[in-house]
Amino acid sequence: YALGFWVGVNSSVWAVCAYTLKYDDLRKVVKAAKKLCLGIAAQLDNFGKPLTDFIPDSFTAGEAEISAGPASLKMGFGEFTPTSFKLMTKPSLDFNFSYQSGFEDAVKAYFGD
């Protein structure tokens, strides 16, 4: 997370520097740099994941999720797998402190979101 945050701030600074060469208006510079950096953050979401992470091994009929900042609590209702069926799944608590989330948080903090 910390490395992603550091690289996100660094990318934001250099994006602003690069777009000042293209635009005279500071609003256009900030808008273009922010769009570029958030686009990079979106591409980092799937970086480094193996192909098996994209193929579901089960299906949940319905889910309820509560999140606050980087933490989220998820509960599923009716989980189907090839070998079993569960009426209710165990609640799972997750903290998203990935490289990508650090990068995205840094970009948002740098541009004041």
Please report, in tens digits, the pLDDT of each residue of the chain (113 residues total).
888 889 999 999 999 999 999 999 999 999 999 999 999 988 887 666 655 565 555 555 666 677 766 777 766 666 656 566 555 555 666 666 778 888 888 999 999 87
Nearest to 4 by CA among 48, 34, 41: 41
Location of structure tokens 């797998």: 81
Cα–Cα dist 22/17, whole Å: 10
Cα–Cα dist 19/35, whole Å: 11
pTM listed for this prediction: 0.59
Name residues whose C-beta falls within 8 Å of residue 96's C-beta, 6 or more positions apart in sequence. Answer: 70, 71, 72
